[in-house]
Structure 1
Amino acid sequence: MENLSTITDDYLESQIKYLRLLSKQYSSISKASAEIINLEAIMNLPKGTEHFISDIHGEYEPFVHVLKNGSGVIKRKIEELFANNMRENEKKALATLVYYPDKKLDLIIKQEKNIDDFYRINIYRLVDLCRYASRKYTRSKVRKLLPEDFRYIIEELLHTDENSMHKQEYFKSIVETIIEIGRSRDFIIAISKVIQKLVVDRLHIIGDIYDRGPRPDIIMDTLMEHHCVDIQWGNHDILWMGAAAGEKTCIANALRISARYANLDIIEDFYGINVLPLATFALETYKDDPCKSFMPKVSDQEVSIREKTLMSKMHKAISIIQFKLEGEIINRRPEFEMNHRLLLDKINYEDGTINLKGKKYKLKDTNFPTIDSKNPYKLTEGELNVVEKLVLSFKGSERLQKHVSFLFSKGSIYLESNSNLLFHGCVPLEKDGTFMSMNIQGTKYKGKMLMDKMEYLAREGYFFVEDTYQKQYGMDIMWYMWTGKCSSLFGKDDMTTFERYFIEEKETHKENKNPYFNFREDENMCIEIFKEFNLDANECRIINGHVPVESKKGESPVKGNGKIIVIDGGFSRAYQNKTGIAGYTLIYNSKTLQLVSHEPFTSAEESIANETDILSTTVVVEHTAKRKRVRDTDAGIKIQEEIDGLKLLLLAYKKGLIKEI
């Protein structure tokens, strides 16, 4: 803000409405001055730690563990604080206690002979660790993170010097009283959760919470409890968002993928969606069909032969329904330019072949009891009945609707945050490196505007009332975002689902990645993207996921001369043979940007019992000589605006334009 001495009375008068509103909150010179001092102090605090995670794909156990340990931040803080006065096994034990306080205490209570001594020692250690983790925050911010039951007690312990002669007995009496009245267990659980919150100021999820892994619902519940989180939608997320909106094709796709990975439990047991109509229809329609191409990707040890047989029939039934429903959208929306995906009418049902791009292929499976060769995209009465019931069930799932509402409230296609551009997949490009355009409702969009438009339409698809044009178009766009070539979430030219099920020749399975992925090593392409988003190319970097980094082949997650960091390293077990690791995460604190690669996680039970952690390797991608402060962040820009407004208010008070109360 320019010097207050240069502010004219005319300018103050032009701001008078805003200043009168501000004066209701800060009703005197002393109150406005105190807030300016407070905000200026906050601006000079170190920047909070940001934690980036991508492509979780329902793998809730490693996700929850990485979230609890802050990708190793808690372990590092324990090492820094207790380096010279704790043994290694004690540090491991303390870290496990912080990660899983309730479950670890249950084990310790059974084993420990003198539990009060254990409580006493660890309460002191946890208070020290909590104090150490809270150093970069104001007291008011820390207070907001404290649990109501122990807010006063923890605050007193954090801000009392137990080494001071005058405070030793006070500090000791608080700890002894906690133990004496039987509140030690509750206190340790509470302060451990506070430490987890303090080590990470903000969590960024770079897409794909859903599909493949067993419990995306637990991940969503965990995110909804997090103190500060944002989500950049992935293609698998938008699929479930479309399904929750009642978009039939998204529902069919979500069910197909769940059947493919033997994860129908998530549909039926955890979201309460009734799949019995589909199961009944599948058993009746495909009773004598072995459905070999539709066997779920799971071993006989995990699922019985009987269950696999049922799932394969459901899998085939919903796949055929999906292909028919996709035909409806493709014909309804010629601007999607997806006529090449109309395949059911390319089948010769008499000789069991299909003609693709001028070449004939033999089909692996020729049993199509629900397809009318003269009208192949028409749903049978039985299929219509199944679809109708599934739509009602998806829309009626209270838990799913709660999770999807959260995805909309905390999510977006992309996010600009503290000199980082976050998105899941890509910014769609043409082969020559220019931005790919798409005609939507008569207008061409590309780059940032295309991504903005798709997000706008997706929100209409979920929130608009039934039977409106906006609702239907928005739902169709949500399906397109899952599978369309101009979708930044999908990032390919095709999704060859039909070919993979029905054609042996792998040449037909090919899905070409958007040219963005070929240009990722080109720093100039990154600079053009930063210009498109009005970002400083000298300061910014792109953080995304979507395409797993094949670490075991030597591929680096850092691309474009450091301008792009790809953090999909294989959280999903389905990708770990390809990547060689079990996920990347990113930690961005006031001094460094750290890329963390994780080894496969066994189980929370083993971690608790044996005090083992995920084996992780940390590489510093960027190190700054000067520590970043709050004033260097997006939050700092907003705080500076508040300070400027308060300074104007002070001037208005001093000039008598507004009277103090």
Structure 2
Amino acid sequence: MDQNELKYLRLLARNYPTIAKTATEITNLEAILNLPKGTEHFLSDIHGEYSAFEQVLRNGSGVVKRKIRDCFSEEMSDSEINTLATLVYYPEQKIDLLLEEVTDPCAFYKDTLFRLVELCQYVSSKYTRSKVRKAMPEDFAYILEELLHENYNEDDKKLYYEEILESIIELDRAKEFIAALSKLIQRLVVDHLHVVGDVYDRGPYPDKIMDTLMNYHSLDFQWGNHDMLWMGAAAGSEVCLANVVRISARYLNLDILEDSYGISLRPLALFADAVYGDDPCEFFQPKNEEGLEYSNAEITQIARMHKAISIIQFKLEGPIIDRHPEFAMESRKVLDFIDYERGEINLKGKTYPLLDQNFPTIDPENPYALTKEEAEIIQKLVASFKNCERLQKHILFLYSKGSMFLTYNGNLLYHGCIPLNSDGSFMELELHGKKYAGKDLFVQFEQIAREGYFRNAGTKEKEYALDVTWYLWTGPVSSLFGKSEMTTFERYFVADKATHHEEKNPYYKMRNEPETCDMILKEFGLETCGHIINGHTPVKEGKGESPIKANGKMLVIDGGFSPAYHKTTGLAGYTLLFNSYGLQLASHQPFTSTEEAIKNETDILSTRQVIEMEIERKRVRDTDNGQELVRQAEELKQLLNAYRKGYLNEHR
């Protein structure tokens, strides 16, 4: 036997010191390989909409209710199924409402517990006992294991099981046990969660979403452009930070900074009042898309803050563009194109009047220089972002679980696009003096994004990485942005909407072609029978657009959680399920509220569409994790052989 191989087997023998233990583990692994593949759940573009996100997460995009129908369709009405489903989604809140309607609480508890135990048995049947045991809440683990893995039809055990449930009821622990069973069901119906980008911006509670994701049992994350902006801000990028504050002000969402993350905006507010106190800031009025109640004084102050941080942002962009001619973004140095005396701007050879001509902090001779007060505000904000423990915890989680792309069980996941030229070839971008395209560009983007956060402050490497992080938000060859330019200045200052246009990358037309998708799948090392799961762009279903493209090779699953997109999409977006039977796309109608869902049992209405049905049910063996288990089993067989041939001695 090769000495290196023998050395490795000696190390392996520390965990499996006998023939019996080695053989047992091989048997266990090969049994697991034949279990059905677990369900993968894909979400994208959550944009701070915590209530809708929570509902979709709790109901597994309809999986929970489907499992209930599988178990009880012959004995329960649709109304009863809806009630049981709502109980599983929100056990603590729903149980009290149900108890108000019953005359015999003990009978209600007993009936409900039996049904939940039966449902839990059903959803746990595709897992090993060990995996189910690890998912159980500690307080009820012993009782749950007894109830889930025994046969209720055995007469000699039936009384035993009934006595367990009756004891739980008599000891006034039924509510807690119902909650434990419900959460175990939620945990087991989805084996793994994929978040294909954009937790942040637009909606009010990205922090709550991050807290929920940090406690989720198994997930990965593909960074979105809005996530990247917050990652850059947390890493100390002044220009990313300015964008974060500007977007929060634009959408009346400053509470996420002040209340959720404890970042003081008072210095910005005082500065804005002092400099723009006489300015109506008409074109910086925040968007109140959800009809929130604000006083006129509050709206006026937010508009001033909005304008103040926008001007700071435009100033901060100029030096980055100068530092990086390879970014080819000279057209975005918009402050150079303004005629401050005439109140006009020249864009691409055409002159336009400016809607707002009040620029008290801009020196026309040196337009990108921050005033002393502006520099102090940015310094304070950078310190607040970097020293916010909760924000840093959330961003570190994004780095630990996230990536620019992921290949998983034959599918390719990413947010945004693969930058393409008009002829369909991969676009190139120079990074660190070398040109990259396709998969190599994604790999470089990810490495540099990590350096932006983890490199020491004040180093050239950190400064470069933070510049690229900002480029990922707004650059023409950014896979996360996917447009020729970001016309933020024009949207504020120029009336002609032709100047607001942002040309999409050719990718967005070419992704409809199977040949393009095949090329992309091959570039990332996948078989062309795989699928591309793409987030970022809302699907305009109301205008006839389909989320299924290139004969099913590409699935666009912008979740459409944000109400701002509902008029565009005609619905609340899509999620995706990939179980042992195939791929299913779920389209969702808008979510009303958690209170409405609990009281009136108004689940998110979802329509499921089968994308691909497996001829043979997929097993764990057919997954990426299964291939790893196959490798482990082969190594254990080598260890077993070494024991039997006398190369190694057992240690009992």
Q: What's the TM-score bracket when you normalise by the shorter of the two chains?
A: over 0.9
1:367 aligns with 2:358: yes
2-structure distance, mates of 1:519, 1:653: 57
Alignment of 1:515-526 (within 5 A): 515-526=506-517
AA in 2 matched with 1:405: L
1:260 aligns with 2:250: yes
Residue 531 of structure 1 deviates from its aligned partner by 1.5
Q: Which of 633, 640, 643 pairs up with 2:633?
A: 643
Q: Which moved more, 1:303-312 or 1:243-252?
A: 303-312
Q: Which of 342, 348, 354 pairs up with 2:339?
A: 348
1:138 aligns with 2:128: yes
1-structure distance, mates of 2:332, 2:425: 25
1:303 aligns with 2:294: yes
Check the 8 A contact 1:324/1:376 in 2, yes or no: yes
Q: Which of 344, 366, 370 pairs up with 1:379?
A: 370
1:451-476 CA distance string (max 9 Å, x none): 10010011011011111122111111
1:619 aligns with 2:609: yes
Aligned to 1:531: 522
Q: Which moved more, 1:257-266 or 1:520-529?
A: 520-529
Aligned to 1:477: 468
2-structure distance, mates of 1:475, 1:653: 54
Alignment of 1:426-505 (within 5 A): 426-505=417-496
SS in 2 for 1:15: helix
Check the 8 A contact 1:550/1:569 in 2, yes or no: no
SS in 1 for 2:628: helix
Residue 612 of structure 1 deviates from its aligned partner by 1.6
Aligned to 1:294: 284
Aligned residues: 650
Check the 8 A contact 1:97/1:192 in 2, yes or no: yes
Check the 8 A contact 2:411/2:526 in 1, yes or no: no
1-structure distance, mates of 2:134, 2:463: 42
1:285-330 CA distance string (max 9 Å, x none): 1001011111010166532222111110000000000000111211
Aligned to 1:57: 47
1-structure distance, mates of 2:486, 2:102: 57
Residue 98 of structure 1 deviates from its aligned partner by 0.2
Check the 8 A contact 1:214/1:266 in 2, yes or no: yes
Q: Which of 176, 179, 184 pairs up with 2:166?
A: 176
Uncovered stretches (5+) of structure 2, i.e. residues with no partner: none
Residue 105 of structure 1 deviates from its aligned partner by 1.7
Aligned to 1:195: 185
AA in 2 matched with 1:561: N
2-structure distance, mates of 1:372, 1:460: 34
Q: Which of 262, 270, 273 pairs up with 1:280?
A: 270
Q: Which moved more, 1:465-474 or 1:500-509?
A: 465-474
Q: Which of 65, 89, 92 pairs up with 1:99?
A: 89
SS in 2 for 1:136: coil
AA in 2 matched with 1:503: V
Q: Which moved more, 1:60-69 or 1:113-122?
A: 113-122
Aligned to 1:659: 649
Aligned to 1:242: 232
SS in 2 for 1:203: strand
Check the 8 A contact 1:569/1:581 in 2, yes or no: no
2-structure distance, mates of 1:111, 1:624: 44
2-structure distance, mates of 1:115, 1:265: 43
Aligned to 1:541: 531
2-structure distance, mates of 1:442, 1:265: 41
Alignment of 1:85-164 (within 5 A): 85-164=75-154
AA in 2 matched with 1:106: D
AA in 2 matched with 1:623: M
Identity %: 59
Residue 170 of structure 1 deviates from its aligned partner by 1.0
Alignment of 1:381-400 (within 5 A): 381-400=372-391
Alignment of 1:507-586 (within 5 A): 507-537=498-528, 539-586=529-576
AA in 2 matched with 1:382: E
The list of structure 1 runs, each at least 4 consecutive aligned residues, that deviate by more than 4 angstroms after superposition, is none
Residue 89 of structure 1 deviates from its aligned partner by 1.5
Aligned to 1:6: none
AA in 2 matched with 1:321: I
Residue 110 of structure 1 deviates from its aligned partner by 4.0
2-structure distance, mates of 1:123, 1:51: 27
Check the 8 A contact 1:103/1:608 in 2, yes or no: yes
Check the 8 A contact 1:569/1:579 in 2, yes or no: no
1-structure distance, mates of 2:516, 2:150: 54
1-structure distance, mates of 2:221, 2:64: 23
1-structure distance, mates of 2:611, 2:433: 44
Check the 8 A contact 1:207/1:231 in 2, yes or no: yes
AA in 2 matched with 1:23: A
Aligned to 1:3: none
1-structure distance, mates of 2:349, 2:477: 25
Residue 111 of structure 1 deviates from its aligned partner by 4.1
Aligned to 1:406: 397
2-structure distance, mates of 1:452, 1:256: 30
Residue 115 of structure 1 deviates from its aligned partner by 2.0
Residue 114 of structure 1 deviates from its aligned partner by 2.5
Q: Which of 45, 64, 67 pairs up with 2:57?
A: 67
AA in 2 matched with 1:633: T
Residue 534 of structure 1 deviates from its aligned partner by 1.4
Tell me the TM-score normalised to structure 1 length. 0.97
Tell me the TM-score normalised to structure 2 length. 0.99
1-structure distance, mates of 2:234, 2:632: 39
Residue 109 of structure 1 deviates from its aligned partner by 3.7
Aligned to 2:220: 230
2-structure distance, mates of 1:33, 1:298: 64
Residue 260 of structure 1 deviates from its aligned partner by 0.4
AA in 1 matched with 2:72: F
Check the 8 A contact 1:461/1:475 in 2, yes or no: yes
Check the 8 A contact 1:160/1:171 in 2, yes or no: no
Q: Which moved more, 1:618-627 or 1:330-339?
A: 330-339
2-structure distance, mates of 1:69, 1:301: 28
Residue 118 of structure 1 deviates from its aligned partner by 1.6
Residue 161 of structure 1 deviates from its aligned partner by 1.7
AA in 1 matched with 2:593: S
2-structure distance, mates of 1:214, 1:139: 40
Residue 561 of structure 1 deviates from its aligned partner by 1.4
Check the 8 A contact 1:104/1:609 in 2, yes or no: yes
2-structure distance, mates of 1:463, 1:329: 20
SS in 1 for 2:551: coil
Aligned to 1:598: 588
1:344-394 CA distance string (max 9 Å, x none): 011000010001111111000000000000000000011001000000001
Check the 8 A contact 1:77/1:129 in 2, yes or no: yes
AA in 2 matched with 1:329: I
2-structure distance, mates of 1:470, 1:165: 71
Aligned to 1:425: 416
Aligned to 1:84: 74
SS in 1 for 2:430: strand
SS in 1 for 2:586: strand
Check the 8 A contact 2:196/2:535 in 1, yes or no: yes
Aligned to 2:37: 47
1:515-565 CA distance string (max 9 Å, x none): 11110111111111112111111x211001111110011111011111100
2-structure distance, mates of 1:35, 1:339: 62
Q: Which of 185, 188, 210 pairs up with 2:200?
A: 210
Residue 116 of structure 1 deviates from its aligned partner by 2.0
